[in-house]
């Protein structure tokens, strides 16, 4: 039976990472599934290099999922492109020193992790700062130009480049807008392969509907969370997927005929999902989720983004309404 192209994310510190790949069963299951690994580069340590060497030797393809220290934003975003470029240079030197082989580079485009935590703590006090970001369109152009240069450099170095995006970036494009990028620090970036992070565990109770609606517009479908990832206590704190939820997401992704990125390997191992995937029935029927609610919500969001991108439309509308009222009063 045909199995979709599978990639597992892995986001562990050096010691837990080393311990995870001491298990022969984990390595055997990855080989049986012919799966890739998108390995979070949390550090440039000898321990992480040794794990990559082991995976290289066993023929498990590894994507270098580039990350920054938490005090620099952790994920790549609109404001830390200079640090992202330096991180890539350091990663290249580390890879060359340790003779590491990579199947490509992964760029995770998400809001600054510190800004997310600050927003939770300050809430309404953040409104002036958000308004200031909304007015600064030049940030988007600077960041996009810098990241295009970085991707060009990665290509020149012989790397395949994939990106990990929040699904709302698709609606931003359809609206021909940069509003979400300005507010949340996202970067709409053209790469070889785009993964949409359609993690239904974070989107309950409409996770499957959202996954199904966005999946057709992704190069690869990201599903999860099975348990794991960076600690965002108080910001994102939801239960991981159960086996029933995970199975349904897998089959929905398979029905779209797209590659699948699973977040994350350590969660799959902890819950016993990885070994079950080796004999998983991908063809078992799964009811397709409804579409109306998500389609309506996406349409409303795209309209809002389109309008906010063009504030003069609001002004003309307001002036038209006021003018109409004045004309009516004059006639009366």
Q: What is the CATH number of the domain that holds 137?
A: 3.20.20.80
Same domain flag for 206 and 307 = no
Same domain flag for 214 and 332 = no
Count up the domains in the chain and report the number: 2
Same domain flag for 330 and 228 = no
- pTM (two decimals): 0.91
Same domain flag for 220 and 330 = no
Same domain flag for 267 and 304 = no
Mean pLDDT by 10 residues, the chain (332 residues): 89 97 96 97 98 97 97 94 97 98 97 80 68 81 97 98 98 96 94 98 93 96 93 74 97 95 98 96 90 93 94 60 60 62
Whether 1 maps to a domain, the answer reads: no
Same domain flag for 317 and 251 = no
Same domain flag for 82 and 22 = yes
pLDDT for the residue 326: 59
Same domain flag for 189 and 326 = no
pLDDT for the residue 77: 96
Q: Which domain holds residue 307?
A: 292-332
Whether 266 maps to a domain, the answer reads: yes
Q: Please write down the HEC assignment for all residues of the chain.
A: CCCCCEEEEECCCHHHHHHHCCCHHHHHHHHHCCCEEEEEECCCCHHHHHHHHHHHHHCCCEEEEECCCHHHCCCECCCCHHHHHHHHHHHHHHHHHHCCCCCEEEEEECCCHHHHHHHHHHHHHHHHHHHHHHHCCHHHHHHHHHHHHHHHHHHHCCCCEEEEECCHHHHHHHCCCCHHHHHHCCCCCCCCEEEEECCHHHCCCCHHHHHHHHHCCCCEEEEECCCCCCCCCCCCCCCCCCHHHHHHHHHHHHHCCCCEEEECHHHHHHHCHHHHHCCCCCCCCCCCCCCHHHHHHHHHHHHHHHHHHCHHHHHHHHHHHHHHHHHHHHHC
Whether 24 maps to a domain, the answer reads: yes
pLDDT for the residue 214: 97
Same domain flag for 133 and 149 = yes
Same domain flag for 285 and 305 = no
Same domain flag for 116 and 235 = yes
Whether 109 maps to a domain, the answer reads: yes
Whether 72 maps to a domain, the answer reads: yes
Same domain flag for 87 and 176 = yes
């Amino acid at each position: 039976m045909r199995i979709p192209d599978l990639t597992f994310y892995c986001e562990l510190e050096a010691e837990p990472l080393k311990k995870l790949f001491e298990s022969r069963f984990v390595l055997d299951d990855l080989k049986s599934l012919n799966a890739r690994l998108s390995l979070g580069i949390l550090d440039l340590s000898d321990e992480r290099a040794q794990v990559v060497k082991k995976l290289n030797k066993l023929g498990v393809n590894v994507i270098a999922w580039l990350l920054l220290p938490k005090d620099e934003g952790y994920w790549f975003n609109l404001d830390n492109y200079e640090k992202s470029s330096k991180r890539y240079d350091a990663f290249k030197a580390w890879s060359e020193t340790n003779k590491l082989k990579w199947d490509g580079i992964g760029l995770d485009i998400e809001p600054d992790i510190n800004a997310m935590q600050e927003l939770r703590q300050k809430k309404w006090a953040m409104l002036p700062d958000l308004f200031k970001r909304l007015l600064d369109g030049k940030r988007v152009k600077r960041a996009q130009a810098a990241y295009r240069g970085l991707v060009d450099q990665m290509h020149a170095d012989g790397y395949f480049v994939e990106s990990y995006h929040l699904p709302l970036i698709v609606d931003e494009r359809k609206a021909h807008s940069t509003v979400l990028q300005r507010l949340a620090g996202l970067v709409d970036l053209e790469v070889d392969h785009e993964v949409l992070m359609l993690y239904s565990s974070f989107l309950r109770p409409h996770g499957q509907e959202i996954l199904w609606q966005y999946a057709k517009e992704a190069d690869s479908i990201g599903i999860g969370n099975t348990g794991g990832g960076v600690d965002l206590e108080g910001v994102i704190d939801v239960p991981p997927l159960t086996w029933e939820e995970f199975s349904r997401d897998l089959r929905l992704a398979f029905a779209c005929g797209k590659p699948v990125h699973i977040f994350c390997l350590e969660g799959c191992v902890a819950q016993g999902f990885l070994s079950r995937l080796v004999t998983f029935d991908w063809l078992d029927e799964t009811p397709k989720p409804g579409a109306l609610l998500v389609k309506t919500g996406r349409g409303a969001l795209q309209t809002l983004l389109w309008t906010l991108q063009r504030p003069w439309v609001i002004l003309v509308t307001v002036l038209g309404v006021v003018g109409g009222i004045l004309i009516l009063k004059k006639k009366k």
